[in-house]
Amino acid sequence: MIRSFAVLVLSVLFFCACAPKYQQVVTSQNIHHETVPDYSSLDYWAAHPAKHDPSDSIPQPIREEYSYDSTIDVFFIHPTTFIDQKDQRWNADMGDAALNRKTDFSTILFQASVFNEARVFAPRYRQANLKSYFTDDTSRAKEAFDLAYEDVKVAFEYYLEHFNNGHPIVIASHSQGSTHAVRLLREFFDQQPLSEKLIVAYVVGMNIPPDAFQQLKPCTDSISTGCFCGWRTFKRETEPFIQSRYKQSFVTNPLTWVTTDEYADAKLNKGGVLRNFNKIFPHVTDAQIHESILWSSKPKFPGAFLYTASNYHIGDINLFYLNIRANVQTRILHYKATRFAAYHQTNRIFHL
C-alpha cells in the first residue's frame, strides 16, 4: 500500500508538475467551508463554459486546429487530488483554496482540456480522501464515497435542469471520478431515456465490472455511440496486484478503440501531453489489452530514464491525449449523422 502511494505521488509530480506560466486563472475564494455545494454559483465549478478556467487551455502545437462546438456538452468528473492520508478528514473541504488550485492546474488543465472542443462542465465536489481506497474501515470509506457521489449527482442534476438545454452529452472521468461516473451512468443513463443523449462515456482509470450496467455496452470500435470506454494503464509485462473487487474490468484500447488484444504500435499514438502542457510527444507509447488492464511500453520522452514506475495510472489520459481528443470528434460526428439520418427517415415515413 505504501509503495503504491509513493508511486502515485511521484507520478503526479512527474506528469503534471506545474501550470504553464501563461495561465492566469485565479481560483475563487468565495466557497463556504463544509457546506452542501450551491451549483448555481460558478465558484462550485472547476470548469464551466461561463468562465475562463484551465480546461479552456489548448496545447500550443494544436491551437490552429481548434474548433469549438457549443451544441455538445462534456460532464467531466475529476480524480482524487485530496491525497494527504495523514489528514484526519475523510472528505475534502470545498473551501480549501490550495486544494482547488491543485485540482485546477493538474487534472482540469491536463485532462479536462482534452474535451474543450465542446462545452466542459466539471463540478467541484467533496472528494473522498485517497486513504478511502486503502483503509480497512470499509464502512467509513463507503460514507466518504457516498458523500462525494451525492455532490456529483446534485451537480449533474443542476446541470441537466439549468445548462444542458437538450444537448448531447459526453461523460468523462478519471480515477475517483470514474468511481462516481459508473454510479452516475447507472442511475441516469442505463435503461433510462437520457441514454439517447449519450454520445460516449470515457470512464478511465478504474475498473468497470462486467455487471456494471444492464443496458449500456462497451464501445467496440472508434465510431459507436451510446457506449462506454475505459482502461487502466500499466507498464508492459507488468502483472500488478489488484484487489479482488477491482480485478475484472472492461478494457478499451485508446489507440484502436477496440476491446480485443491486438497490439497497437506507438506509431498510432498521435501524441501525449506530459509535464510540459505546451509540448506534444508523438508516438510516446504503444498499447495492448492484457486481460483486465492496458499494457503500454515505457513512454519515450526526455528524462524518461528517471521514470521507473510500472503503474501508469496518472498518465491514463495524458499518454493518449490527442487520440482521445480526435476520438471525441469522431463520435460526435457519427452521433450527429446518425440522428440526422433518423430524423429524415422519420419525416419521410410521416409524409408517405
Q: Which three cell numbers stand for residue 160?
A: 441537466
Among 30-34, 46-50, 145-149, 200-204, the range scoring the smallest mean pLDDT is 30-34
Closest CA to 99 of 119, 75, 124: 124
Segment 252-310, tens digit of pLDDT: 999 999 999 999 999 999 999 999 999 999 999 999 999 999 999 999 988 888 888 99
Structure confidence at residue 23 (pLDDT):
38
Q: Where are the domains of the chain?
A: 2-351
Tell me the mean pLDDT in the region 118-147: 96
Torsion angles phi and psi, residue 193, rounded to 5: -55, -30
Q: Where are the beta strands (DSSP E) in 140-210?
A: 169-174, 198-204
Assign 207 a pLDDT band (cuts: 50, 70, 90). Answer: very high
Segment 229-253, tens digit of pLDDT: 999 999 999 998 887 777 889 999 9
The answer to whether 177 and 77 have CB atoms below 8 angstroms apart is yes
Structure confidence at residue 192 (pLDDT):
97
Q: DSSP assignment, residue 350?
A: H
| pTM, two decimal places | 0.90
* Residue 234 to residues 32, 168, 262, 293, 313, Cα–Cα distance (Å): 39, 32, 16, 7, 7
Can you tell me the distance from the alpha carbon of 319 to that of 277, in angstroms, rounded to the nearest whole number?
12
Assign 342 a pLDDT band (cuts: 50, 70, 90). Answer: low
- Of all residues in the chain, the percent with pLDDT exceeding 90 is 79
Among 8-17, 245-254, 264-273, 321-330, the range scoring the smallest mean pLDDT is 8-17
What does the DSSP assignment read for 318-345?
Answer: GGGHHHHHHHHHHHHHHHHHHHHHHHHH
How many angstroms from the chain centroid is the CA of residue 99?
A: 18
Can you tell me the distance from the alpha carbon of 176 to that of 130, in angstroms, rounded to the nearest whole number?
9
Assign 20 a pLDDT band (cuts: 50, 70, 90). Answer: very low
Structure confidence at residue 199 (pLDDT):
98
Tell me the mean pLDDT in the region 61-85: 97
Q: Which three cell numbers stand for residue 221?
A: 470500435
- Of all residues in the chain, the percent with pLDDT exceeding 70 is 86
Can you tell me the distance from the alpha carbon of 16 to that of 314, in angstroms, rounded to the nearest whole number?
9
pLDDT above 70 for 352: no
Tell me the mean pLDDT in the region 198-211: 97
The mean pLDDT of the chain is: 89
- Sign for the CA dihedral angle at 169, 170, 173, 178 comes to positive
Structure confidence at residue 234 (pLDDT):
97
Structure confidence at residue 246 (pLDDT):
76
The answer to whether 322 and 58 have CB atoms below 8 angstroms apart is no
Segment 170-201, tens digit of pLDDT: 999 999 999 999 999 999 999 999 999 999 99
Structure confidence at residue 244 (pLDDT):
73
Structure confidence at residue 345 (pLDDT):
53
Tell me the mean pLDDT in the region 166-173: 98
